[in-house]
Every structure is written in C-alpha cells, then in structure tokens.
Amino acid sequence: MRPLGDSPLVRNDKTLVLAHDHGVEHGPKQFSGVEDRLDPNHVFEMATHDAVTALAVGKGLTETYYPSYKDDVNLLAKLNGGSDLWMGDPYSAHNWSVDYAAELDVDAIGYTIYPGVNDEVEMFEAFGEVQENARDHDLPIAMWAYPRGQAVKEHRSKEIIAYAARLGLELGSDFTKVKYPRSKENMAYAVQSAADNRVLLSGGSKTSDREFLELVEDCMDVGVAGLAVGRNVWQRENPYEMLDMLEEVVFEGASADDVL
Amino acid sequence: MRPLGDSPLVRNDKTLVLAHDHGVEHGPKQFSGVEDRLDPNHVFEMATHDAVTALAVGKGLTETYYPSYKDDVNLLAKLNGGSDLWMGDPYSAHNWSVDYAAELDVDAIGYTIYPGVNDEVEMFEAFGEVQENARDHDLPIAMWAYPRGQAVKEHRSKEIIAYAARLGLELGSDFTKVKYPRSKENMAYAVQSAADNRVLLSGGSKTSDREFLELVEDCMDVGVAGLAVGRNVWQRENPYEMLDMLEEVVFEGASADDVL
Amino acid sequence: MRPLGDSPLVRNDKTLVLAHDHGVEHGPKQFSGVEDRLDPNHVFEMATHDAVTALAVGKGLTETYYPSYKDDVNLLAKLNGGSDLWMGDPYSAHNWSVDYAAELDVDAIGYTIYPGVNDEVEMFEAFGEVQENARDHDLPIAMWAYPRGQAVKEHRSKEIIAYAARLGLELGSDFTKVKYPRSKENMAYAVQSAADNRVLLSGGSKTSDREFLELVEDCMDVGVAGLAVGRNVWQRENPYEMLDMLEEVVFEGASADDVL
Amino acid sequence: MRPLGDSPLVRNDKTLVLAHDHGVEHGPKQFSGVEDRLDPNHVFEMATHDAVTALAVGKGLTETYYPSYKDDVNLLAKLNGGSDLWMGDPYSAHNWSVDYAAELDVDAIGYTIYPGVNDEVEMFEAFGEVQENARDHDLPIAMWAYPRGQAVKEHRSKEIIAYAARLGLELGSDFTKVKYPRSKENMAYAVQSAADNRVLLSGGSKTSDREFLELVEDCMDVGVAGLAVGRNVWQRENPYEMLDMLEEVVFEGASADDVL
Amino acid sequence: MRPLGDSPLVRNDKTLVLAHDHGVEHGPKQFSGVEDRLDPNHVFEMATHDAVTALAVGKGLTETYYPSYKDDVNLLAKLNGGSDLWMGDPYSAHNWSVDYAAELDVDAIGYTIYPGVNDEVEMFEAFGEVQENARDHDLPIAMWAYPRGQAVKEHRSKEIIAYAARLGLELGSDFTKVKYPRSKENMAYAVQSAADNRVLLSGGSKTSDREFLELVEDCMDVGVAGLAVGRNVWQRENPYEMLDMLEEVVFEGASADDVL
C-alpha cells in the first residue's frame, strides 16, 4: 500500500468513511423515516464513534457543524456534487476549493469522477487540478470512481469496476471508492488492478444487517482497504449498533457471523 | 440557527429583506401604476423603515443611491440577475464581483441559483466561488434557491422546496430564500430540512393585505427566519402601512388578525 | 442625474458623442459617397468641433490618430464590436481591454450589450467586468443597449426601449445609448425608467436636416442627456454645419426651427 | 503611414515577408517537387537575401533554426495556425504566446483572423489580447485578414477585401495581409480603406514569373506597402532569381518588364 | 538533429521509451495473461534495463513508484490521457501540470495530440502552453502525434504520417512519436519531413519477435531516432530478452537477423 504518513484516516491500515453528502445529491427524501437526522448534529455525533476514521460531507455542513466536532471527527471534504434534479449526463459540480477546505482544517479531500461520460475530459482535468492542489496542502485524496456513459453497458461488471479502481491509481488518488462488482472474485481483481492504491467499497443503499456485513467481510477478505458507508449507517434505526459491528469486521478481522 | 455574529441583518433573530431587483429581472413594466417608484430614491427611503433589516439591489442602484442612505440602510448586494427578454433556460448572469461589492461597503451578498436547469453545474460552481469570496470579506450570503428544469414538474411541491432549502445548508449559504410550498406543513418540512440554515419566504407577486400577512404569520409559526419581500411592499399604494404591520408579525410575534 | 465629477464629456450637463465605429461594424461600404472620410483624420478633425464632447472609436483608430488630437478631442474608447459578416446571434467581441484604453489616456469607456440574445449571460458578465475595471480607472462608462432576440418582436417599442434604458441604470453605466422608441412620449417613459442614469439618443442612419434636428429637439425636451451621433454627421456633405446646429439644440436649448 | 520607429521590417518604407508556415497549415505535400526544402535551413537561407525584410514562421522552426540565423534574418513570429486535416469552420489555433516569442528575440508578431466565421467573436477577442501583449513588448503586429463564412459569397470581392484591410486598421494591426481582390482598382480601394495601415499582398499559390511580378507591380502602384510571399518564392526552382526581381519591384519601383 | 544538451533520454543519439500508460488509456484488460504486471513495480523494474532511456507513465504511477526507482529510471511524464470508455471524438485530458511534473523531478514531458479532430484547436492550444511551460523547466518534450477525424481516411498513409511528423517540428516538440506508415519508404519520407526533429516509432500491439525487430531495424535504417514501445515489451513473457535484442538494434546498429 502507498504510505499515508500518520494520517488519522487509517487505523490498522484500514479506513471507514461515513459518507453524508446525500442532502445535496438526493435531498431530504433520503431521510424518509429518519427525519430527525435532517439535523446534521446526529450524523456528526455518529462520526465520533471509534469505527469512523473520517466523515465525508460538503462545504455547508463543514462550516456549520465541524467547529463543534473538530476534536472528535476527522473530516473528508467532499468538494463536488450535484442535485438529482439535473437531467444532464452525470457530472459533479466543483463547488468547494481545496484552499478553502484546508483553511477549514479538514483532514482529506474527496472528489467524484464519472469516467466514460460526455464530459470525461473536463472531469479528468478538474480532478487533476484538485489532486495537485491537495498535494500542496499535504492532504490525502479519495476518488469516487463511477464509470458511466454510452460504452458502460453494465456499470458494476468485473471489467468496469477494475478499470475504475485502476484509474484511481493512474490519476493519483490515495483511496478509490468503487461499487461492488457483484462477486468476491471480481472485487479481488479490482484490488489487484489498483496495485498500491487503496480500494474502498461503496456502501450503497440500505440492506439487512447480515447482507451488508457479509458483503463487507468478503471485501476485507480480498484486500479492500475499507469502506465508505452512508445509508447503511445513518438510515438505520440504531446506527451505533451497526458501527460497533463494522468496527470488528473492518479493523479487527471478525466475520459477519462473529458479530451478529 | 447558525450564528451570524452581530450582523445588522438580524433583529430578534429574524430578518426582513426588501428585494428590489425587478428593474433588471422584469423591467419598467413592473412599475405599472406606481411609476413614481421608477425613481429608486423612493425604495431606498422605504428601506429606512425599522422593519427592513436589508435592502437587496444590484450594482447600479447601489453605486447611485446607497451613498446617500448608507447610515440608514443595510445593503444586500444582489450579484447576479438577467432580463426576462432572455429565452434560454433559467440562468442568472453574474455581473457584480464580491470584491467590488465589499469595496462599496455592503452588508451582505445575495446570489440566485436554479437547481435542475441545464447549467446547474455552472451555477453551483459560480455560487461556490462567490460563497468563498464572501467568506474572505466576512459577508453573510443569501441564496435565492429556485429549482427549475425538466425534472421539476411542480416547482412549489413539498419535496422541491425542502430540497431547495437543504441545498442552502449543504452549499454554504447563511440564508436561503424559497417560494412558499403551498401549505404550512410543507414549509415546516422545508425548515426542518434546512436544519441550522435560515429559511426566508420569497414574497411573490402582490396579493391582498390579509392574504399576504396570514402567509407570513404561518411561515413565522413554523420557524421561518423571516422573509424577502418586494412587490408586496413597493408596489403597494402605501408601503409604509404594510411595513408597520410586517414589523409586528415578523419581529414581535403578532398575528395577521392582531395587526389588521 | 448621477454626478460625473468634472468629466469633460458633459457640457451644460449635456453630452454629444460623435460615434465612428462603422469601419469595424459595417466596413468601407458605409463611406459610399464620402470616400475621403475613409481617412480617419477627417473624423478626428470633426471631433474638435465644440459641439462634440467625445469621439467614440475603437483601439486601432485611437492608437493611430488620437496622439495627434489629444489636446482637442475627448476620447470614448469603444471596447467591443464585430463585423457584419458574422451571421451569428448579435454579439460584440471584446477586443480592447480597459487597462490598455486607460494607458492610451482615454476619457471614457463604451460597451455594447444585446439584452435578450442567446448569449445575454456572457454579455452581462463581460459588461460587469468592464464596468468594474473602468471604476478602478475612474473612467465613466457608456452602455450601448440594444435588445434583440426571440422575445424582442419590436426592438423600438415603448417597453423595450424603456427596459434598455433601465438596464443601464441597474447594471451600472453612466450613460445609456438607446434607439428612438418611435414617439416623444415613449422616450419620456424611457428617461423616467432610467431615473438618474443619462439616456443618450442613438442617431441612426442619415436623414434630412429637419427630420434629424426635430428628433433631437423632441428628445432634449423630455430629458434626454444628449446623443451619440455618427452617420448623421460624418456622412453629410457638410458635417460642420450640422454640428453647429446640433450645438445649439443640444447645449443651448434651441429648437430645430431656430437653427434651420 | 503609421510610423514603425526604426523597425527592421521596413526598407524604403516597404516590406517583403517570406512566409513559411505551410508545414503546419498544409503539411509536407506542399513540398512536392522541392522536397529538399523540407529542410528549413534552405528557407532560412533564402530569408538572408536582402529582399526579405522578415521571415514568417512558427514556434518550432524558430526554436530550431533561428538561433543560427539571428544576425541575418528578421523573424516574424506566426503565433497561430492549424492543420488542413481539420474540417471545422476556419479557425487558427493560438499555439505560441507573445511572451515566449519575445523571449526568443523575434522582431514582429503575426496572427490570422477569419472575419465572418462562426467563431469570429473568439478570434477578434484573441487578436485583441495578442495585439496588446505585442504592444507591451514593442513588437509590430501583422494581421492575416481572411474573411470567410456564410455571408462571404466571394472572398476576393472588392468589398470583402476592402473590409479585411479596414479591420486591420480598426483592430490595431501595423500590417494587414489580404488576398488580391481581382483588379488593380479594387486593390486601390482596399488601400484607401486601410488609411494609415500598411496593406500587404498575400502572394498565393505559385504562378509564372511574369504573372506574379505584374501582380506585384500593380499592387505597388496603388500604394500597397509590400507583400507576404511564400510559395511563389520557396516552391520555385531558383528562388534567389525571383527574390532579385522582387527586390527591384518592391523596393526600387521597377516594373515587371524592367526585371524580366 | 536538434541538440538536446546532455539529456539522459539519448544514448548514441538514439532513444528508447518504454511506454506504460495503458492502465489509463485501456484499463486492466490490457494485462490479460500477464496479470502480475498490474503491479507497476514490474514495469519500473524493466525500465532499469540499459536499453530503456525513458519510462513514460502518468502522474499516479510516478508519485507511487518513481521515488523508489529515481536512481535507475529516467521518467517521461505523460501529462494527458483518457479512458477508452469515452465515446467522444479522440481527445486526451490534460490531468498533470508541467509544474508538478517538474516538482516530482521527471526528465521529460510527453503529450498526445490528435490533429484533425473536432477539438484540434483546443489540443494545439493546450500543447502550445505545455510546450512553453516545459521550456521554462528545461524539460524535453515528446509529442504523440496521431491524426484522426473526418479528413483522415487512412491514418497510417504516407501523407498523414509525414504530416504528423512535420507537426512535431512545426509546433516545437523535441521528439515526435508516430505510427508506422506501412512501408520503409514512407517512414523515410516522414523522417525527411520532420527535418531536425526526432521521429520515434510507435510500437503498437504485440507481434512476433521477428516481425517487431525487423520493423525496428527498417525504421532505424531510414533515420528514425528510436522508438516508444509498450505492449511489445511489457506484455511479453520475457520482456528482458526483447530489451536485450532491442538494445542491439536501436543503439548498436545490429540487424534483426543478428540478434535472433
């Protein structure tokens, strides 16, 4: 694995990002049933759990809540995003500069690219600038790598997810967040394709405890460096219970069976 | 609520913006019946009323009239806007820089975005830069958040207005101006979705005194932080009477019945 | 009227701009019958007439001829323009920077916008930058405001010309040059809509002495701040005679009958 | 004529540019029959002839060969150009900055614009920046002015060539290179339209000695300031013979008959 | 040949670049059968072979592996590239700045252009900036020159490859990498067209030892300055054997027969 110095994002060489950019990407409807969590204090509170090595949020949440949680939360600044009202080809608007993120004292940078879309060129070029700017501030970079577009018939196929993971290595991220490619063997291939880059499993939409923990166990087995989980934690009735279990599976090598 | 320091825009933790960018957005036809108010001195004069915590106008009006009213008016610099002669997808041209607004000694920044339109990406990115530039000058930012575009079938629905309010929080505004989502319950949901962000009711076109004041009362009841009102004040025969009544409803907790 | 300090562009609070950007906008065919005036020395010479408070020309003419006329001519730098060979939607290319205009020691800035065209956004944003840059150099700005585009069925209607005049005020020009809206009453409405902004009549194509002077008289009667005249002066056989007459009508309050 | 100081580009107030940007504009096929001249040393050698007051080449040729010819050749830096593989509307990519040209110690700047094409606006704006940057370095500027596009039915007509020449004056070039407008009278009109700007005849494709020299003679007769010649020199079997003859016609007032 | 100072990229005035940007351009599928080489350490190791005068890789591989190989590998920074998921006209996203490449202590710059494509203008302009920035850092530049687009019916024809080679000279590269134009004679013409620019053979997809070595021999015979080889080395079962043979053919003048 590519060294990360003494970054707080890594514990036992593993990483668990609590992702919470759903307010910009999908809006309040994502909080259906857990409306109390429209108050981001609840989610920042979850991020103080020992299992969480970083909380990924956008600029507004960082400005408003991070000052109260700075001692207990590592912040991964999600610099781009877009609403799901937009009907264009996938593209993620870059609305937060690395410089200002650094000024707010964040611990890492996150950026989404959609390889294969009409504006792939613009996204690669924007990522290139963000990446170099992050290096200037000695901030690690996580790439959300989600291939889309005309040539991507099946965006979770073995080849596509391995390509996504490889792009993280090639373009200079420290972590690359990819979707699950439908089998443990395919994920192993993605990890091999990423070489010394750290692959993070993208958590996806909420599933049962067992289903989700077995998925995580499978990924850890084949060398994934951790996960970025959102809805499978903060949409749960009891997110702390899930975080307790994830802590054991991700950092301590426990199996899903062990913790359930 | 997110703290605003000792900003003059807030009084009893509430805000009333007198909006007057109609000359650029719609032109002189908006002054039909009140042609004397084509002279902006009349509107700046209204803004000296105690009920008004800020006057929102563009660069030209600020340069020409603000010097004479600086002691009595708080100015919210509306940085973007466009004519209604334009037939393109909604977009608001950024014609005033934050730096020059600060040089003119304004008290806050205002910026319109249209989530969901073809150029959502450009608008989010432009807002991102304006927002950070405003932070450099310690100026609060109000976002005019008006979802539009192919996916927005009903731009005043519960979900759309709550999404608009949430985007203000997520993208880093201090105030978010939204349209009324057709019911008090829906507005309560928008306020909840905005969490610590201050939601302002967009006044809309002129209605009767009672209709407008009951609307304001309902909004204040569910936690709205104030309103941005234009035509319902400056198009009225007696704007000062309306401002007197609004002052009681917005800042003193009076009902529409109390003041009528 | 918005104060202009001791600007040489104003005399008795009135202004007469001799406009001569026809070489770029329409080319040599505009000089048909007066080919000797293809030599710009003739037009700079006309601009030394006392009636002319500013000569509006582009960068090339300024560089080549202004050095010889600096003591006798006030120069209004026309920063944008385009050829009539271009078949696109109206747009005026910005080919001269404010900084370089200031370096050449000009007295004012001129810029064309076409509200309502497909690229209205770009034109408003470009004007915004030019306007602020002009302020940095303490140079007054004249806007050529010509609405066009799909929504502009009749570009000289009462509403359209009043809107154009208002946009000058709203966007921060000192002078706004508009076409004649077909009646004296309509021009009065445009002047009222512009409030403290100075409206200049756009001279248009060559007409008879009487027709042109009566038009100017009517405009001065309803509060127009002067005119920007091109072809009605430099295309005339005897431009100095016309300038003598304009001087009396514009600056001395004479009628067309008085001077003819 | 607009003064050029003690520029080496002018001799007896006349100019002869040897143009050699054909390698980028059309590629090696232009060297058919004279393949030895694919070696630019041959063309730089021609440019040491007394008749040549400047050699117009691009960045690569300048970097590679100019260092060896600096004492004997005046270099006109052709900053933009494109391949003839491109099927888009005429446009000339700006691939060499004025600053770097100045660093390489060139004597003048050359830039192509195509008035009337879809991207006329971009070309005018790019020329505007180049022109001002050249002024900063005290470098003369030659404009290659070639109208094209939907409105240009006949790009060598009297009106079009006169318009091209005028645009050079209006936009601030020192020299304007135009095609021959099919008659001596038309060229006289172009020269008159350019006023104090120096019109250069664009040499065009290779013709017979007599045809070419009579064309040059006719142009010099009506006040053209010189020519920019490429293929009619370097594609000839004996370019030095042609340069000897051109020297007499351009700088000494000889006729074609005199020299043949 | 244009001098390169004491650049480590040249040995006996010849160059062999090991190209390894396939991970970004085509993804992991290119490693089918040699999956162990998904670990870039294997390829950096190959680049320590004496035959390799430079290794061409992107930013991510350089950041991750170059620090361990700096003493034994010369690095050519490939600044642009794109995924093969993209269905647009060929274009190569510029994702690595020259400044940051220089900061990472690379030895040369590489940049792809596609003359003839819809965005030729943008690619030429981007190359122009990169080229000048590389000069600022005294770094040699290699252009990958691959004509494409509507006018390019046969992208390996004699004329097209010669044009590509010439563009390298004209636009200011030090090396120009072109495809093989189907015959030794055609390659000789490309070399002649490039004059003092160094033409590199693009290795292409994997072929037999004899076929590949005879191709290289033919190219060296007609004055090619070396080659840029990727798949014909790193996709081979025994890449070191091939490098041994290439060393003799490229640097020692051996024939394919000699080494097989």
Residues recorded for chain C: 260
Q: Decide if E120 touches D, using CB distance below 8 A.
A: yes
Q: Which chains touch C (3 or more CB pairs under 8 A)?
A: B, D
Identify the active-site residue in E177, E179, E180, E189.
Answer: E177
Residue B55 per-residue DSSP state? E
Chains with 3 or more CB pairs under 8 A to chain A: B, E
- Chains contacting B (3+ CB pairs below 8 angstroms): A, C
Closest partner residue to D39 among E2, E121, E195, by Cβ?
Answer: E195
User: Is C234 an 8 Å CB contact of chain D?
Assistant: no
pLDDT of residue D204: 86
As a whole number of angstroms, the longest Cα–Cα distance in chain B is 46
Q: For residue A122, what are the contacts with CB-CB under 8 A and spacing of at least 6?
A: A91, E93
Distance from CA of A189 to the nearest CA of B (A): 34
Q: How far apart, in whole angstroms, are the C-alpha atoms of residue A81 and residue A110? A: 10
In the structure, what pLDDT confidence band is assigned to residue B59 with cuts at 50, 70 and 90?
Answer: very high
Using left for φ > 0, alpha for ψ between -120 and 50, and beta otherwise, residue D49 falls in beta
**C15-259 topology per CATH:** TIM Barrel (3.20.20)
Tens of pLDDT along chain C (260 residues) come to 777 877 889 999 999 999 999 999 999 999 999 999 999 999 999 999 999 999 999 999 999 999 999 999 999 999 999 999 998 899 999 999 999 999 999 999 999 999 999 999 999 999 999 999 999 999 999 999 999 999 999 999 999 999 999 999 999 999 999 999 999 999 999 999 999 999 999 998 899 999 999 999 999 999 999 999 999 999 999 999 999 999 999 999 999 999 99
CB-CB neighbors (< 8 A) of C31 in chain D: 193
Cβ-Cβ contacts under 8 Å between A and B: the total is 115
Task: Please tell me which of the candidates A65, A83, A96 has its beta carbon nearest to residue B115.
Answer: A83
- Which is the catalytic residue, given D177, D179, D180, D189? D177
Q: Is D227's pLDDT higher than 80? A: yes
- Name chain C contacts of D142, Cβ cutoff 8 Å: none
Among A57, A83, A103, most B C-beta atoms within 10 A, so best to mutate, is A83
CB contact under 8 A, B169 and A97: no
Task: With beta carbons under 8 A apart, name residues in chain D contacting C63.
Answer: 172
Active-site choice (A78, A158, A177, A179): A177
Catalytic residue status for D158: no
Model-wide pTM > 0.90: yes
Inter-chain touch A24–B170, beta carbons under 8 Å: yes
From the list A124, A152, A166, the residue facing E82 with the nearest CB is A124
pLDDT tens by residue, A51-97: 999 999 999 999 999 999 999 999 999 999 999 999 889 999 999 99
D-interface mutation test, from C95, C104, C111, most D Cβ less than 10 A away: C95
Q: In this predicted model, what pLDDT tens digit does every residue of A157-202 receive, in sequence order?
A: 999 999 999 999 999 999 999 999 999 999 999 999 999 999 999 9
Place of tokens 């800042």: B251
Domain boundaries, chain C: 15-259
Closest approach of D258 to chain C, Cα-based (Å):
34
Check: complex ipTM more than 0.95: yes
Bigger pLDDT: B88 or B21? B21
How large is the average pLDDT for residues D136-148?
98
Are the C-beta atoms of D230 and D37 separated by less than 8 Å? no
Dist CA C48 CA C44 (whole Å): 7
B207–A contact, CB cutoff 8 A: no
SS (H, E, C) chain E: CCCCCCCCCCECCEEEEEECCHHHHCCHHHHCCCHHHHCHHHHHHHCCCCCCCEEEECHHHHHHHHHHHCCCCCEEEECEECCCCCCCCCCCEECCCHHHHHHCCCCEEEEEECCCCCCHHHHHHHHHHHHHHHHHCCCCEEEEECCCCCCCCCCCCHHHHHHHHHHHHHHCCCEEEECCCCCHHHHHHHHHHHCCCEEEEECCCCCCHHHHHHHHHHHHHCCCCEEEECHHHHCCCCHHHHHHHHHHHHHCCCCHHHHC
> In this complex, which chains have at least 3 CB pairs below 8 Å with chain E?
A, D
Q: Is C189 on the interface with B (CB under 8 A)?
A: yes
CA distance D24 to chain E (A): 6
D172 touches chain C (CB under 8 A): yes
Condensed to tens digits (0 to 9), the pLDDT of residues D159-192 reads 999 999 999 999 999 999 999 999 999 999 999 9
Q: What pLDDT score does B204 carry? A: 86
| Cβ contacts of C28 on chain D, cutoff 8 Å | 159, 162-163, 166, 189, 192-193
Euclidean distance between CA atoms E169 and D59, whole angstroms:
9
Q: Is C107 in contact with C9 (CB distance < 8 Å)?
A: yes
Identify which has the larger pLDDT, E43 or A87.
Answer: E43
**Per-residue pLDDT at E6 exceeds 80:** no
The yes-or-no reply on D/A contact (3 CB pairs or more, < 8 Å) is no
Chain B contact present for A68, CB below 8 A: no
Among chain B residues, the shortest Cα distance to A126 is held by B125
Question: Would strands B198-202 and B226-229 be described as parallel, antiparallel, or unpaired?
Answer: parallel
**Alpha carbons B209 and E57: distance in angstroms, whole number:** 70
Touching pair E, B by Cβ (3+ pairs < 8 Å): no
Task: Compute CA distances B98 → B121, B126, D110, whole Å.
Answer: 20, 12, 38
Is the pLDDT confidence value at E1 over 90?
A: no
Residue length, chain D? Answer: 260
Residue of A nearest to E63 (CA): A172
pLDDT at E49 over 80: yes
Residue with structure tokens 């490098």?
A: E243
Judge whether B133 is closer than 8 Å to chain A, CB to CB: no
SS (H, E, C) C151-217: CCCCCCCHHHHHHHHHHHHHHCCCEEEECCCCCHHHHHHHHHHHCCCEEEEECCCCCCHHHHHHHHH
Instruction: State the average pLDDT over residues A213-238.
Output: 97
pLDDT surpassing 80 at residue A1: no
> CB–CB of A93 and B197 under 8 A?
no
Name the neighbours of D, counting chains with at least 3 Cβ pairs within 8 A: C, E
Q: E174-210 as b/e, with b when 16 or more CB fall inside 10 Å?
A: bbbbbbbbeeeebbbbbbbbbbbbbbbbbbeeeeeee
Write down the pLDDT at residue A6: 75
In chain D, what residues touch E121 (CB-CB under 8 Å)?
Answer: 82, 86, 88, 91, 93
Residue pair C77/C62 in contact (Cβ under 8 Å)? The answer is yes
Check contact A-B (3+ Cβ pairs < 8 Å): yes
In this complex, does chain C touch chain B, defined as having at least 3 beta-carbon pairs under 8 Å apart?
yes
Is A36 at the interface with chain B, CB within 8 A?
no
Q: What is the mean pLDDT of residues E221-247?
A: 97
Residue B246: is its pLDDT beyond 90? Answer: yes
Residue in A closest to E91 by C-alpha:
A121
Chain C residues lying within 8 Å of B86, measured CB to CB:
115-117, 120-121, 149, 151
* Among candidates C35, C81, C83 on the partner chain, residue whose Cβ is nearest the Cβ of D192: C35
Using the Cβ of B117 and the Cβ atoms of chain C, whether some distance falls under 8 Å is answered with no
Shortest Cα distance, chain C CAs vs residue D195, angstroms: 5
Q: What is the DSSP string of chain A?
A: ----TT-TT-BTTBEEEEE--HHHHT-GGGGTT-GGGGSHHHHHHHTTSTT-SEEEE-HHHHHHHHHHHTTT--EEEE-EE--TT--SSS--EE-S-HHHHHHTT-SEEEEEE-TTSTTHHHHHHHHHHHHHHHHHTT--EEEEE---STT-S-TTSHHHHHHHHHHHHHHT-SEEEE---SSHHHHHHHHHHHTTSEEEEE--S---HHHHHHHHHHHHHTT--EEEESHHHHTSS-HHHHHHHHHHHHHS---HHHH-
Distance from CA of A154 to the nearest CA of E (A): 12
Q: Which residues in E lie closer than 8 A to residue A174 (C-beta atoms)?
A: none
* Dihedrals phi, psi of C105, to nearest 5 degrees: 70, 40
* Number of CB pairs, chain C paired with chain D, less than 8 A apart: 118
pLDDT band at D7 (very low <50, low <70, confident <90, very high): confident
